[in-house]
Structure 1
Amino acid sequence: MQAVIGLLVMMLGASYGLETYCDSRQDGAQCFGPLGGTVVLQLLDRAVQTHRYKLLTKTMIILNVINNKILSNDKEKRSSFNLSDGTFRLNNLSRTDSGEYNLEIREGIKITCHALRLTIQAPVSSVRLASECLSQGEKRVSCSSGGGDSPQYSWTLDGRSLTDAELQSVNTETNSITLRQHVSGIVACSVENNVSRFCGFTFIKCTSNETQISQWVFAANNMLCFEPTTPPTTISESSTVVDHSLLVCGVRAAVVVFALIGIAIYFAWKKKKYKKDEGSAYRPEREHQDESVVIVEM
């Protein structure tokens, strides 16, 4: 099972096909692209036939468009410009693609120019969580990421933010937190930067004798972090796995069966008693009627 989960994490951790979008129609836009991935720059609403467009850096012209015709594209092998929606797509991004870009729009003698800043970042590739029980039943959980430029860490407990009553301390240098004695549940660590996000989950519960009752880890590179629908299997101190859910379900089923049997017996008894009472009430009435008839005949 652990091997399957590890393989799944490796598959989800791949950054192939990662793509970001940036609206760069305003001057001074800050855009980010994933290293090895794709960035889509919204340069304008759409290309107008009577206008001339140039996308350039300080040293070279990247794109030159006149009358809705692309005259030149310096990055033609890994880029494309969509005339209908005004987007410029740049694939297989490298560190050298970072820098200042300028879009020059010429309409007759009128020239409009706005700049954008493109920064290429390595995406976060994985998340690892480590947890331990402390002497008084506190829980320390640390989080680390594989790769990624300028990662930012955040924590949640059962899908919500931690409160001061639950959080004992935070260490930003080691990216770890310490939870108070009474706290237990699903602790999630989210690691993200401007081009990617990864989440890891661990379920932990500690006792005062430093026993870690259970632990389970899940990771995924979805843009949103999803909580597991059920908690992990509890591991006892003797490392024997006990499926309490089956026991509970069995007890509940037995209670339901006995309840149904009791109800059936009760209604059967009531029905039998009703018939008996009905018979006893019916018979005297018939005898009285017979006696009345005899009296009339005399």
Structure 2
Amino acid sequence: MEAVFVLVLVVLAAVAHATDMTTCTATQNSSQCSVALCGTLDLQLLTNASGCELLFKKNLTAGPTLIFSLKRNKVTFKRPTEGRLKFFMNNGTFRLTNVERADSGKYFLEIYNSGGARLGTRRVQLDIEGK
């Protein structure tokens, strides 16, 4: 009986953890996304980033700050990530874990081809919900 109770607790914890995941698609020119405080965000920026060069930035009052760049299929994060940030080239998804209030704001993605010609810009408004 005790083993069944422990199994139920493990399943409930897994379900509770899964509900903290938010998936947003930002493959259009302008998007808005809301994510729970302390949750995880999967933000699809492209369907496939292979062969692209990317600059992902956050707009701050002092000016834009670079979050990550992708060049020659190598992702470089420009600030300490504490393991919170990942980018998946195969599906163009940016993952942000343990979301904080400071993550709220306006982000933009500059997309270039391998020759450096600009292909477009995507804008995302990220809102953080909860206490």
Whether the TM-score (by the shorter chain) exceeds 0.5 is: yes
Quickly name the TM-score band, shorter chain normalised. 0.7 to 0.9
Determine what percentage of the aligned residue pairs are the same residue.
32
d(CA) in 2 for partners of 1:86, 1:46: 5
Computed over aligned residues only, the root mean square deviation of the Cα atoms, in angstroms, reads 2.2
- Give the C-alpha shift of residue 101 in structure 1: 0.3
1:64 aligns with 2:69: yes
d(CA) in 2 for partners of 1:28, 1:70: 23
Decide whether the 8 Å contact of 2:50 with 2:90 is kept in 1: no
Normalised TM-score (structure 2): 0.76
Normalised TM-score (structure 1): 0.35
Residue 55 of structure 1 is matched in structure 2 by: 56
Deviations 1:88-123 (A, max 9, x none): 11000011101000000112242111101000101x
Q: What letter matches 2:31 in structure 1?
A: A
Residue 45 of structure 1 is matched in structure 2 by: 47
In structure 1, stretches of 5+ residues that fail to align are 1-7, 123-146, 148-298
SS of 1:46's equivalent? coil
- Give the C-alpha shift of residue 79 in structure 1: 1.3
d(CA) in 2 for partners of 1:80, 1:66: 15
d(CA) in 2 for partners of 1:70, 1:109: 16
- Give the C-alpha shift of residue 15 in structure 1: 5.8
d(CA) in 2 for partners of 1:96, 1:71: 21
More helix by share: 1
**Equivalent residue pairs, number:** 112
More strand by share: 2
Larger RCO: 1 or 2 (CA < 8 Å, sep 6+): 2
d(CA) in 1 for partners of 2:122, 2:80: 20
Q: What letter matches 1:110 in structure 2?
A: A
In structure 2, stretches of 5+ residues that fail to align are 1-8
d(CA) in 2 for partners of 1:38, 1:69: 23
Deviations 1:211-234 (A, max 9, x none): xxxxxxxxxxxxxxxxxxxxxxxx
Residue 29 of structure 2 is matched in structure 1 by: 27
